[in-house]
Structure 1
Amino acid sequence: MAGATSLNLWGILSESKRIIDAHSRHFLALSVIFLLPLSFSIIVSPFLFPLLSPHQSQNTHLQLSSQTLTLTPFSLPLILFLLSLPLFSLCALASITHSVFHGFFGRPVKLPSALLSIPPSLPRLILTTFLSHFLLFSLSLPLPFLLLRLSLASPLILTASTLLLLALLLALLYLRVSWSLAPVIVVAESTWGLQPLRRSASLVSGMTPVAASSFLFFASLQALLLWTAFLLRSDGWAWKDWAFITQIVLTSTLLMILMLYRAAADTVLYMYCKAVHGELAVDIAQEFAWQYVCLPFDDGKVPHVVSVVHV
């Protein structure tokens, strides 16, 4: 663990970079296993959806025969593709969080240990992620109604709807920032459901500006990168263009790096929030307690603490 570090966005990014650089091959392996397929799938999704949609297969079938087609809302390859995205994301989140958490304390970071941390964390991550998204979705249901009211000509209704819309958006953003540490808590503290959401809100309460800046920083960069990548959308013959393929590879790699640093930054932010609330000192004492031996030479005196150095 590093020494004194600023409790701001730059400090979080610096500490995240330090941990990743110290175990570069480990995080590269995790990124290649989980994040690279995820980022590549997201980047090429505008091109894959037409190929995996049932309409494409129906058109192909029409060219081969004139039999009656069975209309289905989704095709099996498309469903499998959509399910694989959150699965890869949560597996990456579990393994990277586990690795950064151990790397923060200077523990050995091993690839088998990171992979073995996925099975116990994955069900809890799925349930907690579903619950948090369901709550945010439920709270955002009035948004279409408020947007519809904005089209009305009455100045009073327009002003009231605008204020309510802004208040709702700020409330959703506040909840999203307050719950940003929930996945880390699920992995680090083995909890799930509402408990990590409440725990995250409690930890972030003293670090809301830092948590908000971290969330907005990575969200804006990822949104900008995805917007740039989707501008590359073209016809199917673009796959034969080397410039187009190079752009796909570069944007996928950049998105992979952003995802890696975002997961690492959330874990570091979790440790910083614990430090602000006075919990990190206890963890450090428990972490390194086995390296010290107390020798009470005389009763009634303060024990001498001797550091045990392993050669």
Structure 2
Amino acid sequence: MATIPPLDFCGVLVESKKIVNAHSRHFLALSVLFLLPLTFSLIFFSTVRHAIAEPGRNSAQTLLRYSPEHRLFLKTTGLSMIYALTILTLSICAAGTITYSVYHGFFGRPVKFASAIKSLSNSFLRLFVTFICSQIIVLAISFAVGVIVFLVIKGIDSLGFQISPSSPYIFAAYAIGLVALGSGLFYLQVNWALASVVVVVESSWGLEPLRRSTYLVKGMRGIAASLLLFFGLVLGITVWTNWGFAVAPGGLRDWIFVALTVISSALIMMCVLHSVAANTVLYMYCKALHGELAGEIAEEFAREYVSLPFDEEKIPHIVHVAQP
């Protein structure tokens, strides 16, 4: 008799891992198509930018020496813009296709590569608009915090305290502002953890997925925060380690960097894959918590399925949440 994973951090990870393993070749194909280029762009961006900034450091960088010094800023800015667009495009494609596949795999539906790619025609633009809306809110909050810190500093100055760049009052104001901004943005990210899943599954866009995610994540914010911290920490440490080796001098740096890149690429790819899958499973658990999943499960059982011997893991999941 199959056991249902508990509704906690480990339970979400176990359930998402089970779905990914049940369709391993499908998710491997999606990972190679979208996550592998994303991984390499994350790892090699610092190397390429460093090569442009200091073209004389390495003989392999001589191809970049044709530009005069006054064009260095334009080259770096152009590279950063191309990098940002590449990361955004690959991230949206990966999030859309993986979420679509995990959602259908959760119910035991057939998961096909062509269908997952085709789903981007409906979700790509919606995900892009939703991302832009979220960033506008983030920028507005950051600007508001900056204005408040500026007004506080001006207020301290008007009270007759001596203000200088090294003043402890300036440091305290900046520190409080950064802590407040970081806490606020983290809280927003936790509330918006399910926004991309809402876009793909419910075909909404703009501010509506952000509002819907905030509603669904109530009661599960601890799990959402744990997932965000866990995958963010793994991804951040891995990318930072590669960037450090990319610019570090030393005779053994080259072959160590190559070996580390191969290991890190696989780690980042699996991290992003399981992060998106875990958020999709969390979305289903949140819907169950709010009593919205019963209808979908009843609809799945109303359909006719043909069970094959090798499809034992590809079965619809029943989620029951008992509120205390």
When normalised by structure 2's length, the TM-score is: 0.78
Q: Are the aligned partners of 1:131 and 1:193 in contact in 2 as well (CA < 8 Å)?
A: yes
**CA distance in 2: counterparts of 1:169 and 1:241, whole angstroms:** 36
2:97 aligned partner:
95
Q: Are the aligned partners of 1:238 and 1:244 in contact in 2 as well (CA < 8 Å)?
A: no
**CA distance in 2: counterparts of 1:224 and 1:266, whole angstroms:** 21
Q: Which amino acid aligns with 1:267?
A: T
Distance 1:224 1:236, change over 3 A: closer
Deviation at 1:45, TM superposition (A): 0.8
**CA distance in 2: counterparts of 1:239 and 1:194, whole angstroms:** 50
Distance 1:59 1:119, change over 3 A: same
Q: Are the aligned partners of 1:54 and 1:73 in contact in 2 as well (CA < 8 Å)?
A: no
1:13 aligned partner:
13
Q: Are the aligned partners of 2:145 and 2:177 in contact in 1 as well (CA < 8 Å)?
A: no
**Aligned match of 1:287 in 267, 287, 300?**
300
Deviation at 1:168, TM superposition (A): 3.6
2:203 aligned partner:
190
**Aligned match of 1:176 in 178, 181, 189?**
189
Distance 1:309 1:228, change over 3 A: closer
What are the superposed Cα offsets for residues 74-93 of structure 1, whole Å, 9 maximum, x if unpaired? 47666434321110111011
Q: Are the aligned partners of 1:95 and 1:114 in contact in 2 as well (CA < 8 Å)?
A: yes
2:320 aligned partner:
none
Distance 1:248 1:310, change over 3 A: closer
> SS state of the match for residue 247, structure 2?
coil
Deviation at 1:4, TM superposition (A): 2.1
**CA distance in 1: counterparts of 2:251 and 2:145, whole angstroms:** 38
* Structure 1 spans left out of the alignment, 5+ residues: 63-67, 292-307
**CA distance in 1: counterparts of 2:268 and 2:256, whole angstroms:** 18
Q: Which amino acid aligns with 1:212?
A: A
* Structure 2 spans left out of the alignment, 5+ residues: 56-60, 154-164, 309-324
**CA distance in 2: counterparts of 1:211 and 1:281, whole angstroms:** 22
Q: Which amino acid aligns with 1:45?
A: F
Q: How does 1:259-278 map to 2 (within 5 A)?
A: 259-278=272-291
**CA distance in 2: counterparts of 1:89 and 1:165, whole angstroms:** 27
Please tell me the root mean square deviation across aligned C-alpha atoms, in Å: 3.2
Q: Are the aligned partners of 2:99 and 2:280 in contact in 1 as well (CA < 8 Å)?
A: yes
Distance 1:70 1:21, change over 3 A: closer
1:32 aligned partner:
32
Deviation at 1:122, TM superposition (A): 0.4
Q: Are the aligned partners of 2:242 and 2:257 in contact in 1 as well (CA < 8 Å)?
A: no
What are the superposed Cα offsets for residues 9-60 of structure 1, whole Å, 9 maximum, x if unpaired? 1001000110010000100010000001101110111112245679887731
1:105 aligned partner:
107
> SS state of the match for residue 205, structure 2?
coil
**CA distance in 2: counterparts of 1:228 and 1:60, whole angstroms:** 31
**Aligned match of 2:140 in 129, 138, 141?**
138
1:43 aligned partner:
43
Q: Which has the larger radius of gyration?
A: 1
Distance 1:164 1:38, change over 3 A: closer
**CA distance in 1: counterparts of 2:51 and 2:276, whole angstroms:** 31
The share of aligned pairs that are identical, in percent, is 43
Q: Which amino acid aligns with 1:40?
A: F
Higher RCO, Cα 8 Å, sep 6+: 2
1:242 aligned partner:
255
**Aligned match of 1:215 in 202, 213, 228?**
228
**CA distance in 2: counterparts of 1:41 and 1:181, whole angstroms:** 25
**CA distance in 2: counterparts of 1:85 and 1:118, whole angstroms:** 16
2:266 aligned partner:
253
When normalised by structure 1's length, the TM-score is: 0.81
**CA distance in 2: counterparts of 1:164 and 1:170, whole angstroms:** 10
Q: Are the aligned partners of 1:90 and 1:126 in contact in 2 as well (CA < 8 Å)?
A: yes
Query: Is 1:60 aligned to residue 75 of structure 2?
Result: no
Q: Are the aligned partners of 1:204 and 1:273 in contact in 2 as well (CA < 8 Å)?
A: yes
Distance 1:127 1:309, change over 3 A: closer
2:74 aligned partner:
73
